[in-house]
């Protein structure tokens, strides 16, 4: 009995390793921060659609938890399997530098997103300029709070570079434009990308800072978690929260008025742009992406180039948008 089970398992493992690869076309892998979350399900749909449109297979593989180590392991496995293009969205950019360096040494084209500070990539592609989104989040929250009161910043994780950059930009915006907004603690709280944790944190924060009026969230779990806590405390209309979020995830709170708006960009489009950029480099159509290059997706027909502060260029497109009770249904995700 045991032997039969062992044999069946062995055969299954061998079969799963035998993957057909078409000749001539690049072997592409896309590694998201995590799989099985709506945000990343949406990205996956985008990647799959891109694959169907272009007739090229893309391996879409990610961890089941937001875990930098697991992600690096997945990337290492893919690089060792032999691929030509690696697109990814890192949980911890620093942790990914080493494997990206190895990948590039093997001639693999490496395109990141949400990691403008990375060095060992061909390009990092952002949907927008980080400072712009941070300021946008702050403007929205400030308007809701009546431009006065105490607020604090929340991120999914301290190691998520882009989310921390947005938060930094938001704080900078408040200092510049809203003198009556008070950051109660410059220590940031992190919810490990878990709405339940965001809920607990909001409860505790309100306990510690009784006058807390706004939570400037960044990750897609921050606003829904905080909103549930606000509703439970009966503080709708007196306490506010915002973050990037999926329309369907926050529709309840938009309808009830606990959340006035959340910010959004279409990450599935960014993923497609990553793939387009990689293909352009792979086919030799372009040596270098320049200001104004067309990366073939809405919002990216004329991309911008900026210096990441470490002497390396990154690409960004145009646009983030506000999701409100009036327009949430139009997104369809």
Buried-state track 73-101, b at ≥16 Cβ within 10 A, e below 16: ebbeebbeeebebbbbbbbbbeebbebbe
**Shortest distance, CB of residue 330 to another protein, whole angstroms?**
16
Q: Which is nearer to another protein, 207 or 287 (CB)?
A: 207
Which residues would be at the binding site for another protein (CB under 8 A)?
A: 35-38, 41, 64-65, 187, 189-190, 194-196, 199-201, 203-208, 210, 224, 228, 232-235, 248-252
Q: Which is nearer to another protein, 74 or 315 (CB)?
A: 74
Cα torsion 116, 119, 120, 123: sign: positive
Q: Which is nearer to another protein, 65 or 76 (CB)?
A: 65
d(CA 25, CA 97): 26
Q: Which is nearer to another protein, 8 or 177 (CB)?
A: 8
Q: Which is nearer to another protein, 257 or 292 (CB)?
A: 257
Q: Which is nearer to another protein, 65 or 308 (CB)?
A: 65
Distance linking the first and last C-alpha atoms of the chain: 47
CA 253 to chain centroid: 22
Q: Which is nearer to another protein, 86 or 245 (CB)?
A: 245
**Shortest distance, CB of residue 6 to another protein, whole angstroms?**
13
Burial (CB < 10 A; 0-12, 13-18, 19+), residue 211, is exposed
| Distance set, CA 5 to CA 2, 10, 11, 17 (Å) | 5, 9, 10, 19
**Shortest distance, CB of residue 204 to another protein, whole angstroms?**
4
Token duo for residue 8: 């069946």
**Shortest distance, CB of residue 247 to another protein, whole angstroms?**
9
**Shortest distance, CB of residue 145 to another protein, whole angstroms?**
17
- What does the radius of gyration of the chain's CA atoms come to, in whole angstroms? 21
**Shortest distance, CB of residue 36 to another protein, whole angstroms?**
5
- SS3 (DSSP) at 315: strand
**Shortest distance, CB of residue 211 to another protein, whole angstroms?**
8
CA-closest candidate to residue 218, choices 130, 306, 304: 130
């Amino acid at each position: 009995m045991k032997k039969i089970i062992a044999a069946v398992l062995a055969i299954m493992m061998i079969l799963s390793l035998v993957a057909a690869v078409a000749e001539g076309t690049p072997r592409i892998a896309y590694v998201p921060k995590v799989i099985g979350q709506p945000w990343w399900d949406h990205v996956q749909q985008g990647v799959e659609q891109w694959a169907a449109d272009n007739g090229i297979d893309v391996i879409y593989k990610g961890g089941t938890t937001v875990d930098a180590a697991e992600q690096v392991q997945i990337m290492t496995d893919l690089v060792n399997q032999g691929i030509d293009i690696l697109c990814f969205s890192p949980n911890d950019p620093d942790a990914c530098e080493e494997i990206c360096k190895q990948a590039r040494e093997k001639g693999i084209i490496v395109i990141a997103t949400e990691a403008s500070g990375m060095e060992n990539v061909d390009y990092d592609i952002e949907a927008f300029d980080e400072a712009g989104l941070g300021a946008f989040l702050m403007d929205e929250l400030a308007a809701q709070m009546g431009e006065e009161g105490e607020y604090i910043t929340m991120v999914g994780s301290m190691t998520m570079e882009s989310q921390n950059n947005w938060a930094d930009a938001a704080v900078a915006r408040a200092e510049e434009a809203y003198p009556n907004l008070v950051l109660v603690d410059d220590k940031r709280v992190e919810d490990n990308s878990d709405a339940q944790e965001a809920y607990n944190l909001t409860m505790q924060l309100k306990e510690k800072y009784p006058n807390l009026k706004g939570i400037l969230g960044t990750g897609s779990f921050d606003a829904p978690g905080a909103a549930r806590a606000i509703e439970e405390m009966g503080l709708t209309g007196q306490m506010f929260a915002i973050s990037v979020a999926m329309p369907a995830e926050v529709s309840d709170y938009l309808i009830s008025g606990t959340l006035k708006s959340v910010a959004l960009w279409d990450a599935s489009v960014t993923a497609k742009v990553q793939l387009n950029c990689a293909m352009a480099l792979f086919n030799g159509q372009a040596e270098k992406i320049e200001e104004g290059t067309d990366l073939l997706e809405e919002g990216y027909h004329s991309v911008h180039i900026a210096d990441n502060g470490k002497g390396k260029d990154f690409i960004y497109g145009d646009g983030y948008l506000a999701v409100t009770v009036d327009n949430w249904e139009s997104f369809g995700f």
